[in-house]
Homo-oligomer: A and B are copies of this chain.
Amino acid sequence: MINRVYNFSAGPSMLPLEVLKRVQSKLLDYEGSGMSVMEMSHRSKYYDAINNEAESLLRELMHVPDNYDIIFVQGGASMQFEAIPLNIHVNGKADYILSGNFSTKSYKEAKKFTDARAAASSEDKNFTYIPETTVDSFRPDADYVHICYNNTIYGTRFTKLPETPAGVPLVGDVSSNILSQEIDVSKFGVLYGGAQKNVAPAGVTVVIVRKDLQDKWSDICPTMLKWSTQIAQKSLYNTPPCWSTYVAMEVFRYLKEIGGVPAMQKINEEKAKILYDYLDESKFFVNKVNKKDRSLMNVPFFSPSAELDAKFIAEAAKEGLVTLKGHKLVGGMRASIYNAMPIEGVKKLVAFMKKFEVENG
């Protein structure tokens, strides 16, 4: 007897049930191959088809222009925090906007390999807003400007992209908002993201690199971290994380079937509105994020006390509303409502919050 929960985990997180069922049904024999995708050579015709379709579907879904390459690599966004300054290394300086935990982490890692500078920060108010910048906030000879597009832990996102000086590419971490909303790829030099929120099970990382940024690596960049290594081999330089890329392909197919990113964004906006509208009217729960910077994906909120937070989390879990505990840097609760969270899950959460407010308010 299968009793699925609504899992509000910040990542790894829910996958579409339809995708899981498809994957399960083909697990012992993928399309007549007589083997699982977990068992097949990455040089086989079966896997080649998967790898190609994953790339072309992602290109289609995100409208990735022809002058960009897409690769599927290992290591997570954390590996890219170091790969970025090692791959784009011309003047040896780079500007970072610090809007949360991962942007700060990427900035600190970059310092080892480039003159990284914090061009703006919202640390003064515990990252509850997105810092404003102008073109003058950045060095004109910076190799790039880095942002984290959506901040998983603090629940903020950029609703307007920063303007960078002429010729300075924007690099964006889209781990927690890729495919959840329309993203104008042409505004970026590089986009990257771990798969485990909106794309696939953990273990694969998407990197989208404009062609003119593929030959600017530092001498000390390891071969395996060099984007050009995998671009030249279509992500097959060494054995890739086949299973994660395969599930990503199934997620891309499913997303296309339901209407692509515009349809998904509409659903996500609806889900977020249900939750934020209730938070704004509640006399009990509160979201502390600057309204215009609110994330569509991650919604931190608080009850009046740490004791009530703990009670809420425990009682919600009994109702099948799980992984609602906030990150330790923020506290309280956090509902991550990625693409695969059904609207019913958000409705059930809000209904439970209302009931909890009545009982404990």
Contact = CB atoms under 8 A, between A and B. Distances in A.
Interface residues of A, number: 65
A2 B225 CA distance: 40
Given A3-B29, A28-B24, A222-B82, A239 B194 contact: yes
Interface string A192-225: 0010100001111000000000000000101111
6 contacts: A4-B34, A13-B39, A13-B41, A75-B75, A82-B222, A112-B223
A35 B5 contact: yes
Contacts of A112: 220, 222-223
Contacts of A40: 7, 9, 12
Contacts of A322: 34-35
A35 B14 contact: yes
Contact of A196 (B28, B225, B239): B239
B223 A82 contact: yes
Contacts of A3: 29, 32, 34
Given A76-B239, A196-B239, A203 B41 contact: no
B12 A34 contact: no
Contact of A12 (B4, B75, B242): B242
Given A14-B35, A196-B239, 18 more contacts: A4-B29, A4-B34, A4-B35, A12-B239, A24-B28, A34-B322, A38-B201, A42-B202, A74-B74, A74-B76, A74-B241, A76-B238, A78-B237, A79-B222, A82-B222, A194-B239, A222-B222, A241-B244
A27 interface: yes
Contact of A5 (B20, B33, B202): B33
A38 B39 CA distance: 18
Contacts of A223: 78, 82, 109, 112
A10 B41 contact: yes
A38 B12 contact: yes
A224 B78 contact: yes
Contacts of A81: 224
Report how many copies the assembly holds: 2
Contacts of A194: 239
A23 interface: yes
Contacts of A75: 74-75, 79, 224
A63 B345 CA distance: 46
Nearest to A229: B78
A238 B173 CA distance: 15
Interface string A62-85: 000000000000111111011000
A21 interface: yes
Contacts of A32: 3
B11 A239 contact: yes
Interface in A5-61: 5, 7, 9-15, 17, 20-21, 23-24, 27-29, 32-36, 38-42, 44
A240 interface: yes
Given A20-B27, A224-B79, A242 B39 contact: no
Interface in A222-280: 222-225, 237-244, 247
